[in-house]
Amino acid sequence: MTQLSFAQKAEQHWTPERVRKVTGGKKFLIDPRQGSTLLRALGLLNADASMPADALRKYVQINHMVALIEPTVQQLSERFSPVRILDCGCGNSYLTFLLAWCFKNVWNKKALIYGIDTRADVIGKSQQRAVDLGLDDILQFEKISVQDFAQRRTDLPSPDERKASRMHMVVALHACDMATDDALALAFAEKSDAVAVAPCCQAELANKWRKLSAEHFKSAFSVLLNSPELRRDSCSTFTDAMRVLLLRGSGYEASTTEFVPSNHTPKNRLILASRRGNYLESALREYLELKSSLGAGLTLDERLNSDAIEVLKKIQA
Ligand SMILES: C[S@@+](CC[C@H](N)C(=O)[O-])C[C@H]1O[C@@H](n2cnc3c(N)ncnc32)[C@H](O)[C@@H]1O
């Protein structure tokens, strides 16, 4: 009896009813039938082509994220070939691989996608997977922090070289703690055209609030300062609100959206931004007002690009 290839097993396993069960009847960019080899390589399908229960969440999450950024990617593809995308804190690189796979098999557009992470093990695995899947012409992985990557770009001696290798889009899916802000700072420095970040643990503001004495700091928000539970929740919302204002003040149209239902992950907020080039003074004013009411802001406000910093200084003068 001839052995079935993995793709054939997936064809047999993924009946329309089974596909509907995992996609909820929606059209997913990566269907478990056509994308079976990729999903298997990422560990999102078992050897018999079924999907492990704990992989379903990741599968749904990354499909939703790619669907939300698809219109932006399509616009970038009309302007740039190849489109250069940087995935900050790529980890197991699910999103990075899905993007590469879509460029090659769904969108038929040219791209160079860079995945960076501080962990050597995940970078080594991702490099090997890219070769195994024949995606190494699109994908490059490197063990480096977002800060060091940004510094290396800044240190490039020739502005022309820097411009020619500019990252058109910066993405970060649940990059830990400050890595989301490092990704935003990098996008500001690169004048990247688009940004998509799903923040993870927004600790900076929470740490500053913990140190603020409610006795000495009185504001309408004082009640939030004193309760650890309210502090944690409100800090994550305020942090993202500040990020949106700083993006707007740096020339981006920025908004937030839920990228997966909250029963999948509570970390389901996606900040989407496209660069329009108008530094919005009103957004920076709003940011400063919020910072003053909250008693603390984000260090990201010191890492805007020089034009936005000038506007900020002008307001504060
Ligand atoms: C929660 S994981 C998310 C991984 C992946 N984006 C995903 O959604 O599956 C966060 C990743 O960010 C990486 N990371 C944290 N701080 C970083 C930094 N400053 N520079 C680069 N990577 C960082 C961690 O090593 C980890 O792999």
pTM of the model: 0.94
In this prediction, residue 200 carries a pLDDT of: 84
Atom of ligand 1 nearest to the CA of 179: 19
Residue 217 lies in a domain: yes
- Is residue 273 very low, low, confident or very high in pLDDT (cuts 50, 70, 90)? very high
Mean pLDDT for 57-67 is: 89
In this prediction, residue 265 carries a pLDDT of: 62
In this prediction, residue 186 carries a pLDDT of: 97
Apex 191 CA angle, 252 and 166, nearest 5: 140
- Is residue 260 very low, low, confident or very high in pLDDT (cuts 50, 70, 90)? confident
Residue 238 lies in a domain: yes
Mean pLDDT for 158-174 is: 93
- 66 half-sphere exposure, CB direction, 13 A CA radius: 24
Ligand 1 centroid to residue 314 C-alpha, Å = 36
Rounded to whole angstroms, the Cα distance separating 154 from 273 reads 22
Q: Which of 174, 264, 267, 270 to mutate to test the pocket of ligand 1 (most atoms within 8 A of CB)?
A: 174
Ligand 1 centroid to residue 87 C-alpha, Å = 10
Residue 317 lies in a domain: yes
Domain hosting 226: range is 202-252+279-317
In this prediction, residue 195 carries a pLDDT of: 98
- Is residue 241 very low, low, confident or very high in pLDDT (cuts 50, 70, 90)? very high
pLDDT 10s digits, 76-133: 999 999 999 999 999 999 999 999 999 999 999 999 999 999 999 999 999 999 999 9
Atom of ligand 1 nearest to the CA of 62: 8
Per DSSP, the three-state class of 248 is: helix
Ligand 1 centroid to residue 253 C-alpha, Å = 25
pLDDT 10s digits, 38-50: 999 999 999 999 9
Q: Does residue 259 surpass a pLDDT of 80?
A: no
- Is residue 278 very low, low, confident or very high in pLDDT (cuts 50, 70, 90)? confident
Q: Does residue 261 surpass a pLDDT of 70?
A: no
Q: How many domains does the chain have?
A: 1
Ligand 1 centroid to residue 154 C-alpha, Å = 22
Ligand 1 centroid to residue 145 C-alpha, Å = 9
Residue 215 lies in a domain: yes
Is 86's C-beta closer than 6 angstroms to any atom of ligand 1?
A: no
Q: Does residue 246 surpass a pLDDT of 90?
A: yes
Q: Does residue 64 surpass a pLDDT of 70?
A: yes
Is 89's C-beta closer than 6 angstroms to any atom of ligand 1?
A: yes
Residue 213 lies in a domain: yes
In this prediction, residue 210 carries a pLDDT of: 83
H or E stretch including 315? helix 306-316
Name the residue at shortest CA distance from atom 8 of ligand 1. 173
Mean pLDDT for 230-237 is: 87
In this prediction, residue 121 carries a pLDDT of: 98
Residue 177 lies in a domain: no
Rounded to whole angstroms, the Cα distance separating 23 from 30 reads 10
Is 193's C-beta closer than 6 angstroms to any atom of ligand 1?
A: no
Residue 231 lies in a domain: yes
Residue 159 lies in a domain: no
Burial of 266 (0-12, 13-18, 19+ CB in 10 A): exposed
